[in-house]
Amino acid sequence: MGFTPLAGTRAPVRVWTDPYAIEAQAARQLRNIGALPWVQGVAVMPDVHFGKGATVGSVIAMRQAVSPAAVGVDIGCGMSAVRTSLTAADLPDDLAPLRSAIEAAIPVGFAMRDDAVDPRRVRGLEQAGWDEFWRRFATLDRKVAQLQTRAQRQLGTLGGGNHFIEVCLEQGGADDGRVWLMLHSGSRNIGKELAERHMAVARGLPHNTGLPDRDLAVFLAGTPEMEAYRRDLWWAQEYARRNRAVMVALLCQVVRDAFLHVGYDEPISCHHNYVAEETYDGVDVLVTRKGAIRAGKGDLGIIPGSMGTGSYIVRGKGNLDAYCSASHGAGRRMSRGQAKRTYSTADLAAQTAGVECRKDAGVVDEIPGAYKDITEVMAQQEDLVEVVAHLKQVVCVKG
């Protein structure tokens, strides 16, 4: 499809969807971002929608600056997936016990663990760097010092909202029916606490006076505030990665216990709310991907749909116009409140037919109808990624 320039911006804003289809609030945000003096350029993904400060589905390249709102409050949120040796024929007709076993092994929603995870007790979990990782907690913003026990007990937990764990079947091709395990989660409460504290600091800095949106406040390179944010940011991104790694290992053990003889490929993992140091056209930039994945040439990534539609494993094409990025999912087409007003539990049951999942009022805001059509989103980014595998969930665990 290629991109369409968004008119009326100082820095180039390239859009991988119909600009006229973008909601007015989101379009206004994108123009505000494009007006910032530090912005080198912006790539807008087809799942774009309104967010706090910066638009969800935006990739922002800045020179010597970074905006915490362009990362979001769930620092390091992302996806992990692993292909198994199982096929659809290995699965029982009744998948409710498997869902219950997953929910018993991995706390969801606001739940946390009674004790911190001991990596040595989790089969298949990387063992390197855990002691050093937790020692670095003492270097974080002093206002979160009392949250270490909570952060340790939340490691290896899913959370709520749009976070999920799924058992999926590959659709079509030589591996039709192959079973995949997939999950979506981030840095839990500690990432949110760190993000909000730094966003508040940024709003109070004098160089951010007069911005079109105070939530777009930035830190500048070479300042103590930038140094502090980057320190906490890198830690939170690693927390999110380790959180998903723990859950993948636990999920693999649940399936191993249920099926005994099962093998696993190397897991695929990608952030979609994060910062990276990259270079384009000879310019060093800080790239924030808020609701977007890196899709450098050959990079494997994961683009999920909603809880009833399916997901895609993709390989990046390295499109420089998009800062080597792609969408992070289908993207919402209505707010959670609107979804609750629009749909009923009967609608949820109908739209998730054939999926073993919650079908109660507590997850109506996650109904497939509240999201954009994932097939349309994929069609709009054919120049960003190629599809490696199309997956359809048969079990979905929500917080």
> Which residues are designated catalytic?
328
**Whole-angstrom Cα distance, residue 134 to residue 385?**
36
**Whole-angstrom Cα distance, residue 28 to residue 66?**
20
Residue reference for tokens 């990739």: 59
Q: How far is CA 371 from the centre of its chain?
A: 15
Q: Which of 332, 53, 375, 103 is nearest to 214 (CA)?
A: 53
**Whole-angstrom Cα distance, residue 18 to residue 3?**
9
The two tokens of residue 98 are 């498997």
Q: Is the dihedral of CA 63, 64, 69, 73 positive or negative?
A: positive
**Whole-angstrom Cα distance, residue 241 to residue 186?**
8
CA dihedral 195, 198, 202, 205 (to 10 degrees): 170
- Integer Rg of the chain from CA: 20
**Whole-angstrom Cα distance, residue 234 to residue 236?**
6
Taking each helix axis as running N to C, give the angle between helix 224-259 and helix 96-105, from 0 to 180 degrees, rounded to the nearest 10.
140
Q: Give the helix/strand (H/E) hosting 313.
A: strand 311-316
Provide the 3-class DSSP secondary structure of residue 86: strand
**Whole-angstrom Cα distance, residue 110 to residue 365?**
17
**Whole-angstrom Cα distance, residue 136 to residue 378?**
39
Q: Which of 193, 210, 166, 181 is nearest to 35 (CA)?
A: 210
Mention every residue, 6+ apart, whose C-beta is less than 8 A from residue 21: none
**Whole-angstrom Cα distance, residue 9 to residue 11?**
6
